[in-house]
Structure 1
């Protein structure tokens, strides 16, 4: 990749309006550049200026941006996968604001997804600064933040939530193809600090999974995570939230071993919402006896009833 184009022995004068160099005028000596303003730059600003000029001199049709593997990976994907940081950072630096950064492979993974998967915070940071779209989803519907929540990567989580504040509210509301938002993914993994951070950032603590309507509190009960249950309640989780099947978090404690979870939810749940829905209640003793009697009568006629196996496995 060619970083600079043309000779650096001659210097061109620039128009006062900043629109570019005056054609045909070459400065005679370095003395004419004493008022260029470079001396006013702070020492730590020089790298940024050099980087800006480098990007200005990069052609839009760099051939390496168009190369794809059979999996749809670009050179940037490969550099991140193989943790070739220098190469990855150079390509990012040469592609500020370029659509190349958001190229998705056959699994719809952008470079940002892969940087989070491989837990490379420096690459994540530079991609975000270069204009990478943090709202892109892979073939499972996961944003890069979903992945950071699943992996429990605090460094990547922090960069993603701080690096795209204008898009963060929409990302927090984005469900993956399992119907789970970032708060659900975090609850399933049991990462208390990440979940607390999500709530502070504006994630809806009572948001329901799209598939069955469970909230983070329902998930915490399902997973028998007492610490998570306590945290969610302290943050304002609704103990009276219903799943699509009509179950409160307390209902999910039935048949579960953790008595502490059952006790805390029992005390917080309204009395009329403690009983299981009628459709989920156990059969009465009378119904059970009738069923047993019926089964015994059926057993007497088993020899006369043909048996059919209508279950098919793999089409067989």
Structure 2
């Protein structure tokens, strides 16, 4: 197989109609998980089908160390391995054979050009049973894609409860690390679930040990601050019930209550006013306003010097 060929392999149980349907389905995903199957000529496509059909897997019992064959080095121009492609096309039988052959092998954690592992793709394509197999075979749930998202971040973003359930049953040490890990936008799994209004996930994440007062890294807002930004009363109530600190400050010194000013939902403002410490209810002084005043004062002095020739 030409490792640089732009193409997506098909599998014995996936005919052309199924492939077309799945390609249309994948277009709705924010992450690109295809490798250009539409660009293949018919003869190139059929050649790939033949190659996968003659692929032979050794008996994993005869290969106890889990060392994979040379075919594990073959990738498309998008960096997709046979395992990536099997999962993308939901060719479960082939994916299972590959996973069995490569138990605890680094191959299972290979990342494509978008740094997606097979585990990321199994979540994106909503295959919780495959997520379970990959985790049990040794896939690392802490690996991140090009946006800094673990597989759990993606499940929280899409509201995929079945995949979420499987991913949160992993080892406690790994789970604690993942729950506290921000993606490259500075958001933890809890922030993502909150922003997307998946209340059951928010509750589960906190119960699993996620810090309800964790600050996103851009401005230091907690999930409660974000709930106020979204004017989401149900989310505000949920977070408060889970122990969110209403007196927590952003990097600029703002409580969630401060963010209610100029917003339409008076009930959110009332709820937070009653819970916010009295000394924190007043808006903090704005450094930008002070800077403007100082700048204006300096400009007046300069103008006076010019007007009166320094007298």
Q: TM-score, normalised by structure 1?
A: 0.71
Aligned to 1:34: none
Unaligned residue ranges in structure 2 (runs of 5+): 1-54, 301-311
Aligned to 1:94: 101
Give the 3 Å change call, closer, same or farther, for CA 282–217 of structure 1 in structure 2: same
**Cα deviation digits, residues 265-287 of structure 1 (max 9, x gap):** 0110122211211218999xxx9
The offset of 1:90, in angstroms, is 1.4
Aligned to 2:12: none
1:260 aligns with 2:275: no
Give the 3 Å change call, closer, same or farther, for CA 81–3 of structure 1 in structure 2: closer
- 8 A Cα contact 1:4 1:57, kept in partner: no
1:56 aligns with 2:56: no
Aligned to 2:205: 198
The offset of 1:227, in angstroms, is 0.6
- 8 A Cα contact 1:241 1:248, kept in partner: yes
Give the 3 Å change call, closer, same or farther, for CA 252–280 of structure 1 in structure 2: farther
1:108 corresponds to which of 88, 105, 115: 115
1:250 aligns with 2:240: no
Unaligned residue ranges in structure 1 (runs of 5+): 6-51, 295-316
1:271 aligns with 2:278: yes
- 8 A Cα contact 2:123 2:131, kept in partner: yes
Question: In structure 1, how many angstroms separate the alpha carbons of the residues matched to 2:204 and 2:182?
Answer: 18
- 8 A Cα contact 1:250 1:266, kept in partner: yes
- 8 A Cα contact 1:55 1:96, kept in partner: no
4+ residue stretches of structure 1 with deviation over 2 A?
Answer: 1-5, 52-58, 163-166, 280-283
Question: In structure 1, how many angstroms separate the alpha carbons of the residues matched to 2:197 and 2:177?
Answer: 23
1:84 aligns with 2:91: yes
2:247 corresponds to which of 235, 240, 243: 240
**Cα deviation digits, residues 108-133 of structure 1 (max 9, x gap):** 11000011111110110000010100
Question: In structure 2, how many angstroms separate the alpha carbons of the residues matched to 1:241 and 1:135?
Answer: 29
Give the 3 Å change call, closer, same or farther, for CA 61–266 of structure 1 in structure 2: closer
What is the SS of the residue equivalent to 1:251?
A: helix
Question: In structure 2, how many angstroms separate the alpha carbons of the residues matched to 1:273 and 1:237?
Answer: 16
Question: In structure 2, how many angstroms separate the alpha carbons of the residues matched to 1:181 and 1:124?
Answer: 21
- 8 A Cα contact 2:68 2:102, kept in partner: no
Question: In structure 2, how many angstroms separate the alpha carbons of the residues matched to 1:123 and 1:214?
Answer: 35
Aligned to 2:191: 184
Task: Count residues in correspondence.
Answer: 239
The offset of 1:61, in angstroms, is 4.3
**Looking at CA atoms only, which structure, 1 or 2, has the larger radius of gyration?**
1
The offset of 1:63, in angstroms, is 2.3
2:216 corresponds to which of 201, 209, 234: 209
- 8 A Cα contact 2:58 2:101, kept in partner: no
Aligned to 2:81: 74
